[in-house]
Chain A
Amino acid sequence: MAEQDTTKYIVSTNPHAHSGDSVQRIMLDVIIALIPATLLSFHFFGWHAVRLVTACVVGCVGIEVICRKLMGRDLGITDLSAVVTGLLLAFNLPPSLPCGMALVGCVFAIAIAKQLFGGIGYNPFNPALIGRVALLISFPVAMTKWHAPLNTARWAALNWVDGTTTATPLGAVKTAISMGQPSPVAWGNTSMLNYMLGNMSGCIGEVSALALIVGGLYLLYRRCISWHIPVAYIGTVAAFAAILRILQPDANMPVLFHLLSGGLMLGAIFMATDMVTSPLTKKGMLVFGIGCGLLTMVIRRWGGYPEGVSFAIILMNAITPLINRATRPRVFGRKSVRA
């Protein structure tokens, strides 16, 4: 023992054991969970999906590096959070969006929504959603130009974008309802399957509910997320949609249509569960999910935008500190929450 150099003994406060989890590992798990949806987006939108995903991931990581350098802090990109933000931002963009605009989104997401606050952990809002909402407000035309997914013929011809644009199902329904016309979307088993797989127009990553659910199950298995937010969120949307459908069957779409179309699955499984911007306690997560669901449906039904997932989540992000405050657990041995 005598020859052992004591200066290499690590001394720290207890505990001396650790679960072995790390932020990096969690982010890696999220990336793995996003792979099925990424691949399906490549399938449905071809080159444009590849282009946007690459632009956003490279853009986000690059901007993160630049910001950290400018701030004179260590790079910290090894935590992979910028990659996750880039992927999620790309998933929230329409296929024909120019790369330059996507980069503007990256700047908003990483520089303004994240690094200005000090980087990972300090951002009050989900960076990817801030990027998307900023783009939606800055470039309303480009951000609402939708294309039908590729079919075999277009794949064969490498015809990435056909000249015609189509509305998203949610958009088409909203326009029709606001004009008092019957719903333009026929709802049957075929369309349900298509929606499930993602064979519809929309943002590149949000279309395939199936791929997103598979990713979500992986995250649940890895305990990266808990069931509370997705279940509360999707459940609230379902309940709300069901009530609307019962009250006014003509003016409202069926429940499954609301669940499978638009960005609900992407939002509920990947965006609302972002740890940094969602509540700490299980109770708080339920409140958060329910709030997201209500706001989403309010905006979908009565708002100016056909889709309300992004806004709903950012709005709930904003009141997350208040939810945390209100849902602190009762301390062991105390009757009430407060001292």
Chain B
Amino acid sequence: MISYVLIVIGAVLVNNFVLTRFLGICPFLGVSKKLGTALGMCGAVIFVMTAASAVTWALQHKILNPLGLGYMQTIAFILVIASFVQLVDIAMKKSAPKLHGALGIFLPLITTNCAVMGVAVLNVQLKYSFIKAVVFGFAASLGFALALIIFTGLREKIDRANPPRAFQGVAIALVTAGLLSLAFMGFATLVK
């Protein structure tokens, strides 16, 4: 049990996907302007990352490994993840068209999102069992969600800030993300 807790703390705080591993920066910057949209994105990412962890684990251990096709990992994973995101996209368009419009391009972008790919590959690298892999995928997406929600709050403040012209917009957002990442360094070695 304790190992699951450590996985969660590790993935959410210590090795936060966004702020420590620097994965998934694109939706992190793109969808952090409004809290409502950010929450929708969090939901989508949590679903995609958890499900992708499960599916890619099964793919790796039940299809690729027995067949000796470990080298096809990247291609196979991309295939599965892309389909998954498409599925979420279609489902969301049907059930929550407003949110779909707000997420815009960023939803399909999860397809090529390094965070989803990263969690799938890390699962294999860290030799996690199926349950651990799913927990890790879920925790990693929680970490993404945490970073995104914190950043959305900050974003509303810095959008009303008054930076010099060269730093307006994404530039100052990146500086803020850097400072936030600095703050997350405090969690370093919380879990070894």
Are A and B physically bound partners? yes
Q: Which A residues are within 8 Å of any B CB, using their own CB?
A: 70-71, 112-113, 116-119, 122-125, 130, 133-134, 137, 295, 298-299, 302-305, 308, 310-312, 314-315, 317-322, 325
A-facing residues in B175-192 (Cβ within 8 Å): 175-176, 179-180, 182-190
Residues of chain A within 8 A (CB-CB) of B26 are none
Q: Which B residues are within 8 Å of any A CB, using their own CB?
A: 35, 149-150, 153-154, 156-158, 160-164, 167, 172, 175-176, 179-180, 182-190
Pair B163/A314 contact, Cβ less than 8 Å: no
Distance in angstroms between the alpha carbons of A88 and B192 in the assembled complex: 32
Which label, helix, strand, loop or mixed, suits the secondary structure of the B interface? helix
Residues of chain B within 8 A (CB-CB) of A123 are 161
Residues of chain B within 8 A (CB-CB) of A302 are 190
Pair B182/A314 contact, Cβ less than 8 Å: yes
Pair B157/A125 contact, Cβ less than 8 Å: no
Distance in angstroms between the alpha carbons of A118 and B159 in the assembled complex: 11
Residues of chain A within 8 A (CB-CB) of B35 are 325
Distance in angstroms between the alpha carbons of A310 and B150 in the assembled complex: 18
Pair A321/B182 contact, Cβ less than 8 Å: no
Question: Which listed residue (B154, B162, B167) contacts A119, Cβ 8 A?
Answer: B162
Distance in angstroms between the alpha carbons of A117 and B176 in the assembled complex: 9
Pair B190/A304 contact, Cβ less than 8 Å: yes
Question: Which listed residue (B180, B186, B188) contacts A310, Cβ 8 A?
Answer: B186
Jot down 28 A-B pairs with beta carbons below 8 A, ordered by A: A70-B164, A112-B175, A113-B179, A116-B172, A117-B158, A117-B162, A124-B154, A124-B179, A133-B182, A137-B182, A298-B190, A299-B186, A303-B186, A303-B187, A304-B188, A304-B189, A308-B186, A311-B183, A314-B179, A314-B182, A315-B186, A317-B183, A318-B154, A318-B180, A321-B153, A321-B154, A321-B157, A325-B153
Supposing A116-B167, A314-B186, A321-B156 touch, asked if A125 and B150 sit within 8 A by C-beta, the answer is: no
Pair A303/B189 contact, Cβ less than 8 Å: yes
Q: Nearest chain-A residue to B189 (Cβ)?
A: A304
Residues of chain B within 8 A (CB-CB) of A298 are 190
Q: What number of A-B contacts does a CB cutoff of 8 Å give? A: 92
Pair B175/A116 contact, Cβ less than 8 Å: yes
- Residue of A124, A305, A325 most packed against chain B (CB within 10 A): A124
Pair B153/A319 contact, Cβ less than 8 Å: yes
Residues of chain A within 8 A (CB-CB) of B163 are 116-118, 122
Nearest-Cβ distance from residue A133 to partner chain B, whole angstroms = 6
Nearest-Cβ distance from residue A323 to partner chain B, whole angstroms = 8
Pair B162/A319 contact, Cβ less than 8 Å: no
Q: Nearest chain-B residue to A123 (Cβ)?
A: B161
**Which 8 A-B residue pairings sit nearest by Cβ, starting from the closest?**
A311-B186, A118-B162, A304-B189, A321-B153, A122-B161, A322-B153, A314-B183, A71-B164
Pair A124/B158 contact, Cβ less than 8 Å: yes
Question: Which listed residue (B158, B176, B185) contacts A137, Cβ 8 A?
Answer: B185
Question: Which listed residue (A112, A119, A133, A304) contacts B183, Cβ 8 A?
Answer: A133
Starting from the known contacts A303-B189, A321-B157, 11 additional A-B residue pairs (CB-CB under 8 Å) come to: A116-B163, A116-B175, A304-B188, A304-B189, A305-B188, A312-B186, A315-B184, A315-B186, A318-B154, A318-B180, A322-B149
Supposing A122-B158, A122-B162, A321-B154 touch, asked if A305 and B186 sit within 8 A by C-beta, the answer is: yes
Residues of chain A within 8 A (CB-CB) of B189 are 303-304
Distance in angstroms between the alpha carbons of A81 and B179 in the assembled complex: 20
Distance in angstroms between the alpha carbons of A335 and B190 in the assembled complex: 43
Distance in angstroms between the alpha carbons of A122 and B175 in the assembled complex: 13
Pair A116/B186 contact, Cβ less than 8 Å: no
Pair A117/B161 contact, Cβ less than 8 Å: yes
Residues of chain A within 8 A (CB-CB) of B158 are 117, 122, 124
Q: Nearest chain-A residue to B185 (Cβ)?
A: A137
Residues of chain B within 8 A (CB-CB) of A303 are 186-190
